[in-house]
A and B are shown apart, each in its own frame.
Chain A
Amino acid sequence: MSITVQNLSKKYGPQLAVNDISFEVKTGEILGFLGPNGAGKTTTMKIITCYMAPSSGDVKVGQYSVLNNQDQIKKKIGYLPESNPLYTDMQVLEYLEFVAKLQGVPSSKIEKRIAEMVHVCGLNIEKHKKIGELSKGYRQRVGLAQAMIHDPEILILDEPTTGLDPNQIVEIRKLIRELGREKTVILSTHILPEVEATCDRILIINEGKIVADGTPETLRKQAQGQEIIKVEVSDAANSDDVITALSSIPSVAMVDPVKDKQFSYYINSKENQSSKREVFETVVKNNWVLTEMTPIETKLEDIFRDLTTN
């Protein structure tokens, strides 16, 4: 089931939290929703899950619109809200049963679904405890379990891995990947490696507007533009000689010495050209020794920072 967001805006008083955004998520796609705090991620999710109505624009889930088919949409969506609110005075099993009933799971299947969720989310030891007695990690698992209990076609997870330990994070990511094969998943996070590990597509949003949309690779390519390599040379007598020699290579745009390190340089190539081979040949011709040549990849963090700071 696909999600189509069309010219969505949401105002809180005079403040525009979401400003005319449009995007589409297809079935079987895992969309990573990135953005600094207050960018409008949670607001967008709240609108998709029918908690709030948009100020203008529309969201279509399958053929249903959030403006007039809320009941059908709510049944199709599993939602983990941002701070993972739960009824702390209920037992885990009791709570899962309550949610299953609300979401219209037929009573003959409730027991099976609960057992499955307890297994998948690793809740077996804690299932008879009250939710208020659980640690943060276990509460997060209960949050995930309640979101998935009715086997929804769409999962919307607002920061699903906060509070989990590294092992659990790996498990949950694996789980999301598996679910993502047949379901549509939107997840928001601050952890950038998580997006790379789990998402097919990234959407970066800043101040209510979409600033980037694409796979991690395409985003990287867009941001990078030109090749950057780090080179270290030894056996040269004078650093200036090296810089002059390297700068004279036709494909090199700029040579930038690394701070606090002699005979080490960042070399920016001209657009759509690679200078690796020529750098190597130049070094050999001068009887120097090339001790390091590392391509510098633009990290997702850098892309994120570039796009979201003004």
Chain B
Amino acid sequence: MSTTWIIASRELKTFFDSLSAYILITVFLGLSGFFTWLFGSDIFFINQATLQPFFSVAYWTLFFFIPAITMKMIAEEKRSGTLELLLTKAVSDWQMVAGKFVASLLLIAITLALTIPYYITISFLGPVDHGAVWCGYLGMILFSSALLGIGFFASSITNNQIVAFLLSLFIGLFFIIIFDVLAGNFTGFIGQVFHYLSLSTHYDSISRGVIDSRDLIYFGSISYLGLFLATIVLSKRNVVE
């Protein structure tokens, strides 16, 4: 566990030593603030004290930002050779991947925590459904962890960051749109499978304030599967033919 934490804290420090964390936070706060307060179906337009506009913007912003965070995670280590440096230390493949995952998730959690002032301000404007807000935040974290899992997998199969970025967007698109559409086109068992696979259905039910263990298991298994596949891809160097 402590090895994982050493790696996570280094990654987190690297985020904040470079511009990447600041750009991410600024753009995230800017975009979500703009759509929450000023433009489109903002809270003054819908005339309700709710964070729903914020969450729907955050959803799409994270969809594009998370691949940008994960794209370099493994691909860059492979390209520059630091992967060899790291994995010949007392670190296992899983500890490395897990450490990087924890750091990325923490970065997102910090970013989301910075939007708490939105919540406080809105709660002054009118009665807020507090349960729905906290469930919304929980949904964001779960949604992010699933996308991070996908991103780590994409980053592990290439050593080109751009390829990793596009690939994780592409896989992510299946989970948040395409499975949903397919679920509508099929009936019976296949339709149900696609409906279960669709990330947006699970996210919607959590953000409505319903915490169902099936949804938690879904998000947990997507992110675990992503990380697990990433370590499998890494361990391919050991394949005995």
Name A's B-contacting residues (CB within 8 A). 11, 13, 46, 49-56, 70-71, 74-75, 77, 79, 81, 83, 85-90, 94, 98-99, 101-104, 146
Contacts and interface: CB of A to CB of B under 8 A. Distances in A.
- Determine the main DSSP class of A at the interface with B: loop
Contact of A55 (B10, B82, B89, B240): B240
A46 B84 contact: yes
A46 B83 CA distance: 12
A84 to B, nearest CB: 8
Given A55-B240, A102-B3, A81 B85 contact: yes
A75 B88 CA distance: 9
B214 interface: no
A77 to B, nearest CB: 7
A77 B6 CA distance: 19
Given A56-B240, A89-B14, A79 B92 contact: no
Contacts, number: 66
Interface of B: 3, 6-7, 10, 13-14, 17-18, 80-82, 84-92, 237-238, 240-241
A83 B79 CA distance: 12
Nearest to B17: A89
Contact of B81 (A56, A74, A81, A90): A81
B82 A74 contact: no
Given A81-B85, A88-B80, 6 more contacts: A74-B89, A74-B91, A81-B81, A81-B84, A102-B90, A103-B90
Nearest 10 Cβ contacts at the A-B interface: A85-B81, A53-B238, A49-B88, A102-B89, A85-B82, A74-B90, A79-B88, A75-B90, A101-B6, A81-B84
A105 to B, nearest CB: 11
B92 A71 contact: yes
B86 to A, nearest CB: 8
Contact of A85 (B6, B14, B84, B89): B84
A74 B85 CA distance: 11
B90 A51 contact: no
A128 B99 CA distance: 26
Nearest to A83: B81
Contacts of B86: 102
B238 A85 contact: no
A86 B84 CA distance: 10
